[in-house]
Amino acid sequence: MPATDFPDRLSFRIVFRRNQIWFSELVGILFVGIILLCLSGFGIVALTNRSAIDRNNALLWRMKLTSAARQAELARWREKELIHETLSEFVKERLPRQTINMLVDLVYENSRTYGYDPLLVLAVIHVESVFEPEALGRYRSGKYSGAFGLMQLKFETAKEVAGDLGLSLETLDDLFEPELNVALGVAYLTRLIAQFNSLKLGILAYNQGPGVIAKSLQHNRPLSVRYYDKVLRSFYALKRMHERKHGEDA
């Protein structure tokens, strides 16, 4: 190798050394940079995949909730249809379809609010008013009893219950409104059942008054259960029809 070439190559390497850069160091820096870039890329991919998984899980959860809600709504709709068919058979065309629709809607919603079988509420309404929204109550003597509407409420009692529920009841005519009458009637029945801690006594108190029932119990007097028996007969008649309809539906 010619002697004149050596100093040039030596000075070239010295210049790199003075700038603290060697070829091996440069390769190392590039290698580390590539590794860091790959790791960051993997991290981004992992985060992206995690985000996608979370979104998919959230979507699946919403779909399950939506499906469950739809199934519950379908079950409610079918149950109301069965009650509608049951009541239609029970009244044997004595009521217009519009009245039946109204009764089923009101009874279903109010009975579910308090945890009753809708057929029980229908049985009470049947005994009280024979499903007549503008019924006027009468005693056996024929004199008016002062009870009004589907669930035969007296104004003073209805006014008290309406106040507890935050509902407006201004005049007697308001008790002929089916929506208000049923809401107040079911709430009042619920109060009586809770007061006596008995479905039977609550139903009897609905007819005879809580004071009469309380006094009879206090003095150990026999109770007249004729009204309760009437309600049970109507209830079991409705129940048999409903079960038959349910069997046909299955």
Amino acid identity of 133?
A: P
pLDDT at 1: 47
Beta-sheet strand order (sheet of 136-138): 136-138, 144-148, 153-154
CA 17, CA 235: separation in Å to the nearest integer? 104
CA 189, CA 88: separation in Å to the nearest integer? 25
pLDDT (tens, 9 = 90+) of the chain, 250 residues, equals: 444 444 444 343 434 444 545 555 555 666 666 776 666 655 555 556 566 676 766 666 666 667 777 887 888 888 999 999 999 999 988 999 999 999 999 999 999 999 999 999 999 999 999 999 999 998 878 888 899 999 999 999 999 999 999 999 999 999 999 999 999 999 999 999 999 999 999 999 999 999 999 999 999 999 999 999 999 999 999 999 999 977 776 5
Give the orientation angle of helix 118-129 with respect to helix 178-196, to 10 degrees: 110
Q: Are 131 and 102 in contact (CB under 8 A)?
A: no
pLDDT at 138: 86
CA 121, CA 123: separation in Å to the nearest integer? 5
pLDDT at 47: 56
Identify the CA nearest to 152 among candidates 186, 120, 101: 186
Domain boundaries 96-249, CATH class: mainly alpha
Q: Is the pTM of this model over 0.95?
A: no
pLDDT at 24: 58
pLDDT at 32: 66
Q: Are 135 and 148 in contact (CB under 8 A)?
A: yes
Domain edges within the chain: 96-249
User: What 3 state SS string does 161-208 have?
Assistant: HHHHHCCCCCCHHHHHCHHHHHHHHHHHHHHHHHHHCCHHHHHHHHHH
